[in-house]
Chains A and B, each alone.
Chain A
Amino acid sequence: MTRFLLRRFAMGLVLLFVYVSGLFFFVQIALPGDYVSHFALFLSNAETEALRDQLGLNLPIWQRYLNWLFNLLRGDLGIAYSIRGEGQAVTEIIKNTLPVTLLIFGLGTVIAFLIGQWLGKITAWRGPGFLSGSVTFISIALYTSFPPWLVFLVIYLVVWRLDIPISLQGRPGFNVPDMSRAQILWQILAGLLISIFIALIVAWASSRFRKKPLPALMFFLVLLVSWIASWYILGIQNSIPEILRQLTLPTITFILLSFGEVVLIMRTSMVDKIDEDYIQTAKAKGLPDNKVRDKHAARNALLPVTSRLIISIPFLLSGMVMIEETMNVQGIGTALFFAVGMQNIPLALGISIVIGIICLAARLLLEVMQAALDPRIRSGLNGRVRTP
């Protein structure tokens, strides 16, 4: 398992390098004009040239590439272009915009996955009926709904009809969010990671000492309690309501957008499993119905869902970016659009790298999960492949 992870990781690094290099040339060559030409109307010729010199845009492309690459190897993503004096460091901008995206995307994906697989499981197990039909209808409707339209509907229903005050600006473009908010978000994220760790330890201890696995509900309760506790320990409890006010709506929209697909895959996969012989056997042994459903059918049905999710991650992420753009969340997607629109090459490259890394990490996580779910894959990873 460790060897597999290391190999995947090394492979990921190589891919990342190829990706980054390809991206550099693609962005430079495919986009017409450059950063300076956007402001050409306001600047005199001499000023334009001076700015080009200052930003290093007059150098040949391979030299720019090598410079950028060496900086990258040192962990320096460069400085975002700016016409007024010294620009901000790209790492700084990413540091400020990443936590919102991570929080919404990570939390949203996990919740969407949990809800989706649960609904798919239940509806497939019950068979055709009112519940199953309506759940399927809703999931298809959500899966095929145009993201901006969904955003509009959610805003319309929640903000205008229900009169719940949620701060939503118009469409003012991109402002780098202030540092303190980003810091608080990072702290929330760190708190979440630590709480997951604590909950895992509690679950492990429960199965080790009580000889009983921790119920899923208890797991989430521990998670929630320790997360909330972490806010108080870090001393950020006062800013939580404000952050909640800003993030709840995008998160809910993201969940709505992504859980339909999970429901549909889980349902089809589960329906396939119900006819299997081992389900009959499990029922014949006299196991309670929900045990057969959860332990025998659902566990097997989850495999195709996770493998499909690996492929869907980029698509979920782009849905996320669409939501960010329409809801004007100052996240990494908005920053990316801003950077590309202005041809702010270092910023665009830096953000693309971060998105690539998120995709890679999510994929690695799912692969580990798949190995944990499927003993066949696990044994394959350990090198014990059964001969035919």
Chain B
Amino acid sequence: VNTIVYVTSNNTIDQKERIKIWFITTIHHSREAWSIYSRNKLAVFGLALLFIYVLITLIYPALLKTKWPKRVYDPVVGHDMMIFPHPSPPSTAHLLGTDTLGRDVLSRLMAATLPSLRMALTAALTSAIVGTLIAAISANYRGLVDNAFSGLADLSLMVPAPIVMVIIGFVLDISDFHFGLIYGLLVGVGAVAIVLRSHAITIMTKSFIDAARMSGGGGMYIATRHLIPHLLPLAAVNMLLTVTGAIFANGFIAFLGLSRAQLNWGSMIYDSFTYQQINGTITWNVLVPSALFISLFAASFYFIALGLHDVVDPRQAERSSPIRVKGEKKQILKIPWRFSKPELKAPDIYEYKFPAEKHTTKEFQLATDLTNISPRIDTATVVFEGIQSSFYECFPISVMLIKLIHDNSLTATSTGMVSESIESIMDRIDTRILNLGGWVKILDHKSLIASYGLTAHTPAQASSLQAARVGLELKDLLNDDPQRRNDELINAKICVGIACGEINLLPKENSDLINTLLSSEPGLVAKTLSYFSGFMKNGGVLICENTFRHLYAVQHHFVFGRKGMAQLPVEKGEGMVYEISGYNLQGKKNELSKQHQGRC
């Protein structure tokens, strides 16, 4: 069976198509999210409950205007003269009976819904916004800002938010909106920020953040485009969990009789207790419904949070994946939803269209997914169409490519078809990789050179970093199989990563960008290069003049081998190339062999 991977890219997407793609992806995502959410029956129940509460707030004013006369059913001053004595048990006129002062219980319950809903939503939104902002800022800038915010969060853990609210309510008669605002602020700075911050820090270590940074994204751009969208789901879960505390604190203020002017479920319970102390009868028809209303209100938010938690948790999503291969033991293939189901059953042709250049995560996901199913691919033909050399595309595609090529060469080794298999592919893709600004060449049966000198947009550091990354991917691939690692990686004459290209001084409006890159990346480049080359026994990483100059500051981390002239992939003419190697795992310096000098 021949499986062909067609990878096409179309960069010339107009606005209309972009919106269409966004729309389709949103629908798909929400459908997927709903399928996970709806598996949790409690979560659906919670949503229904909240819907009922919203419905009550909508119906109540209309009901008061049409069906219920104000004189009898007003939540504060209403009184039914037809019934004696009050409190009365449920009847047809008063579905939940009346309280000691003769007011309709159901009407009071419904009147208290709107303030509670307003308070809960304000608290939830405030805590989520504040928490997300603080988490994004402290994960993005770290250092002093981060310390200040985590100090603030620690501080707020010493001050129980509900107690503070009760104390505030003690002295100031605040409205439900202000209550929600202050409570959300307190909790958002504290508990929510703590949870979100640790999540944000793990996000910042992901590769797509590196990608965005390398292609020139500033702190603000990364925070708004990449970090915050990834934080939002967890923020939603946490904001719903804070609501429970807010509802109880609000009810408790009302219960203490501190905000009597406001109608509240808590104050209904308080009133009932007060009248019970006066006339000795327990008004169950007031107590039970209002306690139930509070509990169900808190529970609805909690249940929704439960469902959202399932949606956010990637393991849940994996578990729910409907695709299971028969015969293989419970192996779950993680394949993006974009493949329709019939194609999955008999995978002959995967066709994948890169939607837009900014969907880096999805593309990276695809690359890894493809490599996951690669044992089932006999020959892979990768066709690039219309690719511009933008970093967004280069990185995932090249990772995927290297993996595919390498896999195939290894399976082919046993059948003695090495050179043909690799080289036939190489012939086809060589020119296209050149278009990408990259360059792959086979030195002998088991070694290959991957080089990336991107175009003028990308500084040299980025290219070498990227090359080293690809090398690391390769190493991970080999690492999966200890036999291969021992046999091949140590002895392989892999020479990966000619980092080349000019450090272009961009026009003045972009000068900030180049500064960011120069100040932040070299350390990372050095680290990655050193770490990668440390794995190789023979050979090292070849770097170009510019990168060499740059690494000179951290030269004690590297062993420098010979230097020589070599043809660089992108530039015209020859350039100086240096061989470097880092420390290996035992902390010893590698000895550089002299085999590959100047051969590139």
Closest to A357 in B: B158
Contact B158 A16 (CB under 8 A): yes
Contact A318 B161 (CB under 8 A): yes
Contact B299 A359 (CB under 8 A): no
Contact A149 B291 (CB under 8 A): yes
List the interface of chain A (C-beta within 8 A of B). Answer: 11, 15-16, 18-19, 22, 30-32, 140-141, 143-149, 152, 156, 170, 268, 272, 275, 310-311, 313-315, 317-319, 321-322, 325-326, 333, 336-337, 340-341, 352, 355-356, 359-360, 363
Closest to B195 in A: A311
CB neighbours of B151 from chain A (8 A): 15, 18
Q: Which of B172, B256, B309 contacts A325 (CB 8 A)?
A: B256
Closest to A388 in B: B531
Question: Looking at the complex, which of B8-16, B246-254, B518-526 is the stretch in contact with chain A?
Answer: B246-254
Closest to A141 in B: B295
B155, chain A: closest CB distance, angstroms: 6
Q: Given the known A-B contacts A32-B171, A149-B291, A317-B163, are A144 and B154 also in contact in the complex, defined by CB atoms under 8 Å?
A: no
List the 3 closest A-B pairs by CB distance, nearest first: A314-B160, A318-B162, A356-B158
Closest to B256 in A: A325
A15-B152 Cα distance, complex, nearest whole Å: 9
Contact A146 B171 (CB under 8 A): no
Q: Which of B172, B191, B270 contacts A311 (CB 8 A)?
A: B191
B197, chain A: closest CB distance, angstroms: 12
Contact A314 B157 (CB under 8 A): yes
A272-B277 Cα distance, complex, nearest whole Å: 49
Closest to B319 in A: A275
A170-B160 Cα distance, complex, nearest whole Å: 27
Q: Which of B155, B160, B170, B249 contacts A317 (CB 8 A)?
A: B160
Contact A355 B295 (CB under 8 A): no
Contact B158 A147 (CB under 8 A): no
- Please provide the chain B residues from 222 to 246 with a CB less than 8 Å away from any CB of chain A in the complex: 244-245
Q: Given the known A-B contacts A140-B299, A144-B295, are A149 and B158 also in contact in the complex, defined by CB atoms under 8 Å?
A: no
Please report the number of residue pairs spanning A and B whose Cβ atoms sit closer than 8 angstroms. Answer: 122
A140-B299 Cα distance, complex, nearest whole Å: 7
Q: Does B294 contact A (CB under 8 A)?
A: yes
Contact A359 B157 (CB under 8 A): yes
Contact A146 B295 (CB under 8 A): yes
CB neighbours of B295 from chain A (8 A): 141, 144-146
CB neighbours of B251 from chain A (8 A): 146, 148
Contact A359 B252 (CB under 8 A): no
A148-B265 Cα distance, complex, nearest whole Å: 12
Contact A19 B158 (CB under 8 A): yes
CB neighbours of B315 from chain A (8 A): 272
Q: Does B535 contact A (CB under 8 A)?
A: no
Q: B153-190 CB contact bits vs A (8 Å, 1 = yes)?
A: 01101111111001110111000000000000000001
CB neighbours of A19 from chain B (8 A): 155, 158-159
Q: B309-330 CB contact bits vs A (8 Å, 1 = yes)?
A: 1000001000100000000000
A222-B294 Cα distance, complex, nearest whole Å: 42
Q: Does B273 contact A (CB under 8 A)?
A: yes
Q: Does B255 contact A (CB under 8 A)?
A: yes
Q: Which of A15, A32, A310, A315 contacts B162 (CB 8 A)?
A: A315
B378, chain A: closest CB distance, angstroms: 30
CB neighbours of A333 from chain B (8 A): 163
CB pairs A–B below 8 angstroms (18 shown): A19-B155, A22-B155, A31-B171, A32-B172, A145-B295, A146-B269, A146-B295, A148-B270, A149-B269, A149-B294, A152-B273, A311-B157, A311-B190, A337-B256, A340-B170, A340-B171, A359-B159, A360-B158
Q: Given the known A-B contacts A15-B151, A143-B302, A322-B252, are A148 and B269 also in contact in the complex, defined by CB atoms under 8 Å?
A: yes
Q: At the interface, is chain A mostly helix, strand, loop or mixed? A: helix
Closest to B164 in A: A318
Closest to B291 in A: A149
List the interface of chain B (C-beta within 8 A of A). Answer: 151, 154-155, 157-163, 166-168, 170-172, 190-191, 194-195, 244-245, 248-249, 251-252, 255-256, 265-266, 269-270, 273, 277, 282, 287, 291, 294-296, 298-299, 302, 309, 315, 319
A209-B160 Cα distance, complex, nearest whole Å: 45
Closest to B194 in A: A311
CB neighbours of B154 from chain A (8 A): 11, 15
Contact A147 B294 (CB under 8 A): no
Closest to B154 in A: A15
CB neighbours of A318 from chain B (8 A): 160-163, 166, 245, 249
Q: Given the known A-B contacts A18-B155, A272-B315, A311-B195, are A147 and B252 also in contact in the complex, defined by CB atoms under 8 Å?
A: yes
A36, chain B: closest CB distance, angstroms: 16
A16-B154 Cα distance, complex, nearest whole Å: 10
CB neighbours of B277 from chain A (8 A): 170
A138-B198 Cα distance, complex, nearest whole Å: 32
CB neighbours of A341 from chain B (8 A): 170
Contact B195 A146 (CB under 8 A): no
CB neighbours of A355 from chain B (8 A): 158, 160, 163
Contact A15 B291 (CB under 8 A): no
Q: Given the known A-B contacts A18-B155, A359-B158, are A146 and B163 also in contact in the complex, defined by CB atoms under 8 Å?
A: no
A32-B172, A149-B269 given; name 17 further pairs at CB < 8 Å. A18-B155, A30-B172, A32-B171, A146-B266, A146-B294, A148-B251, A148-B270, A272-B315, A275-B319, A313-B157, A314-B162, A318-B161, A318-B163, A319-B162, A337-B256, A355-B158, A360-B158
CB neighbours of B266 from chain A (8 A): 146, 148
CB neighbours of A363 from chain B (8 A): 157
Contact A145 B291 (CB under 8 A): yes
Q: Which of B157, B195, B287, B299 contacts A152 (CB 8 A)?
A: B287
A152-B154 Cα distance, complex, nearest whole Å: 34
Closest to B265 in A: A146
A360-B160 Cα distance, complex, nearest whole Å: 11
A180-B416 Cα distance, complex, nearest whole Å: 93
A210-B219 Cα distance, complex, nearest whole Å: 59
CB neighbours of A140 from chain B (8 A): 299, 302
CB neighbours of A352 from chain B (8 A): 159
B557, chain A: closest CB distance, angstroms: 14
Closest to A275 in B: B319
A322-B162 Cα distance, complex, nearest whole Å: 10
A324-B166 Cα distance, complex, nearest whole Å: 14
